[in-house]
């Protein structure tokens, strides 16, 4: 389904122009997709490094010191520490930025698989989607006036999270999305929705 049709009939899913096509940019992460959430610090570092530089026959510490910048190390540490809190029982609060056509409603039973542990990043996503719609002339002025930027606030459980894959994704993309990929979108409980100006 093309973006324009999807946007005008349903929620615009921000992973991609086409719903479900977001995985096209994630090629190479397949081995990390179904790993259990029971892992060590070095496991997580290895997955992150694999995403940044590919699998190399080098010592993990050598890769960490020679290939991973300070900014990327910060990105890893923040993600790892957040996920450790989840593993220790902290509530898993998630956020997602979308754009809705004025005639659409949020599909609470299918809110999407890609979430962020940062409410600010979810707002950034919604604003970015909006800007791309305008700059790329995907919608007309009258159509954009009938759209809303919306932030979904959700909660889920540890067993519904793909933490190793999310760590790999943190390494795969230089932009810090602070992503938490979920297994089953229907198991994310929507706490509230909020429209942005």
pLDDT tops 70 at residue 73? yes
Q: Which pLDDT does position 97 carry in this prediction?
A: 93
Domain ranges of the chain: 3-13+30-196
* Token digits of residue 167: 């760590």
Instruction: Report how far residue 101's alpha carbon sits from residue 87's, in angstroms, rounded to the nearest whole number.
Output: 37
Condensed to tens digits (0 to 9), the pLDDT of residues 92-150 reads 999 999 888 777 777 888 899 999 999 999 999 999 888 887 767 777 777 777 888 99
Q: Which pLDDT does position 23 carry in this prediction?
A: 59
In the block, tokens 């390494």 appear at: 171
What does each C-alpha distance from 112 to 68, 95, 134, 169 come to in angstroms?
31, 11, 23, 16
Res. 24 pLDDT band, cuts 50 70 90 = low
Condensed to tens digits (0 to 9), the pLDDT of residues 42-71 reads 999 999 999 999 877 789 999 999 999 999
Instruction: Report how far residue 194's alpha carbon sits from residue 197's, in angstroms, rounded to the nearest whole number.
Output: 10
The total of other beta-carbon atoms located within 10 Å of residue 156's CB is 21
């Amino acid at each position: 389904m093309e973006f324009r049709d999807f946007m005008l009939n349903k929620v615009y899913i921000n992973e991609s122009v086409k719903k479900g096509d977001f995985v096209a940019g994630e090629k190479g992460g397949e081995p990390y997709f179904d790993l259990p959430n029971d892992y060590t610090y070095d496991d997580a570092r290895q997955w992150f490094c694999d995403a940044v530089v590919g699998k190399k026959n080098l010592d993990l510490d050598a890769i960490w010191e020679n290939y991973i910048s300070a900014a990327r190390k910060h990105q890893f540490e923040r993600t790892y520490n957040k996920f450790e809190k989840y593993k220790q029982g902290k509530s898993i609060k998630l956020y997602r930025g979308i754009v809705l056509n004025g005639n659409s409603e949020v599909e609470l039973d299918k809110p999407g698989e890609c979430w962020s542990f940062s409410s600010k990043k979810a707002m950034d996503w919604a604003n970015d989607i909006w800007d791309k719609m305008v700059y790329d002339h995907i919608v007309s002025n009258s159509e954009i006036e009938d759209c809303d930027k919306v932030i979904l606030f959700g909660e889920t459980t540890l067993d519904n999270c793909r933490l190793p894959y999310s760590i790999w994704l943190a390494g795969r993309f230089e932009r810090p999305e602070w992503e938490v990929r979920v297994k089953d979108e229907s198991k994310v409980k929507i706490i509230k929705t909020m429209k942005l100006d």
